Amino acid sequence: MSKKLSDDMIIDELTLDESALLDELLSELGESRRRFIGQSSTGVLSALVLEFLAKRNAYAAPVEHSLAPAADENAVKVAFRVNGIDKSVAVDSRMTLLDALRERLTLTGPKKGCDHGQCGACTVIIDGRRVLSCLTLTAQCEGKDVTTIEGIAKGETLHPMQTAFIKHDGFQCGFCTPGQICSAVALLQEAKNGELSYASTDFRQKPHSLTLSDDELRERMSGNLCRCGAYPNIVDAIREVHTGKPSDPLGQRDGEQGGNDHAAV
Ligand code: FES
Ligand code: FES
């Protein structure tokens, strides 16, 4: 419980900062320190000091947070094209593409999930091929054409893969979605090029445009993890764009017994 205290006792209770603040407060109030302390208790003093601090912070000029990076060691200048726009950045030679995109170019679509090449959340497309930007050095991208999820749509018109993800509910929290969509868009091109995967059954055929089975889609998307388990819907979305055959998002899948099918892609 608060009680009246002598001047010396109260001063003992205050830190140096609080004591300085008290002087500032009293000068604003036009009060004498001795008179004020004689009528107060430590509880009252603390409350006043806190209120004064809060008020002062409220009116304080906002601190400017500069995004300017600290001087880089081993800086290299990299010129590349990002989402159709020429960019030039000076980065530490060890900076990953993911960090350069997110921190230097403020493109936060590519996500930092694991930062170890294991989740696919950071997937972007470089010169038409999907890559993990957390395992790619920015310095390797000189002269390359980088596409992130921000560059997939054409102006206001979504890419068909984006539309299909929305139609088929191919996401829940959305954290993995930029990587899933970039991966799926590049996958379409891989199928057109006739590129094979571990799930391909005939390795002797000459490269030709492939129509991928669901097993192929799952295999080819296996580097993109989804903690929300939206896998069946992701496959539905990709199949629809890949085959060009619209399907009913509420339709029963082959062999599905109902309930949530969270089998990994
Ligand atoms: Fe790159 Fe996970 S953040 S693979
Ligand atoms: Fe949440 Fe994939 S939608 S992690």
Q: Domain 153-265 is of which CATH architecture?
A: Orthogonal Bundle (1.10)
Q: What local confidence, expressed as pLDDT, does residue 74 receive? A: 85
Q: Say which residue, 30 or 111, is predicted with more confidence.
A: 111
Average pLDDT for the chain = 82
Predicted confidence (pLDDT) per residue in 121-131, tens digit: 999 999 999 99
pLDDT value at 203 more than 90: no
Pocket residues: Cβ below 6 A from ligand 1? 112-115, 117-122, 132, 134
221 C-alpha to ligand 1 centroid (Å): 14
Query: Which residue among 112, 118, 171 has the greatest number of ligand 2 atoms within 8 angstroms of its CB, and so is best to mutate?
Result: 171
Q: What local confidence, expressed as pLDDT, does residue 249 receive? A: 84
* Domain regions of the chain by residue span: 7-59, 72-151, 153-265
Q: Please state the length of the chain.
A: 265
CA of 119, nearest ligand number: 1
| Strand arrangement of the beta sheet that strand 75-82 belongs to | 85-92, 75-82, 145-147, 123-126, 129-132
Q: Please state, for a pLDDT cut of 70, what percent of the chain lies above it.
A: 69
Q: What local confidence, expressed as pLDDT, does residue 227 receive? A: 97
pTM equals 0.70
Q: What local confidence, expressed as pLDDT, does residue 258 receive? A: 39
CA of 171, nearest ligand number: 2
Residue 86 burial (C-beta neighbours within 10 Å; 0-12, 13-18, 19+): exposed
Average pLDDT over residues 108-120: 98
Q: What local confidence, expressed as pLDDT, does residue 47 receive? A: 64
Q: Say which residue, 54 or 102, is predicted with more confidence.
A: 102
Q: Is the CB of 264 under 6 A from ligand 2?
A: no
Query: Which residue among 173, 181, 182, 235 has the greatest number of ligand 2 atoms within 8 angstroms of its CB, and so is best to mutate?
Result: 173
Q: Say which residue, 41 or 142, is predicted with more confidence.
A: 142
Under a CB-based contact definition with an 8 Å cutoff, are residues 153 and 166 in contact? no
Q: What local confidence, expressed as pLDDT, does residue 3 receive? A: 44
pLDDT value at 45 more than 70: no
Was domain 72-151 assigned CATH 3.10.20.30?
Answer: yes
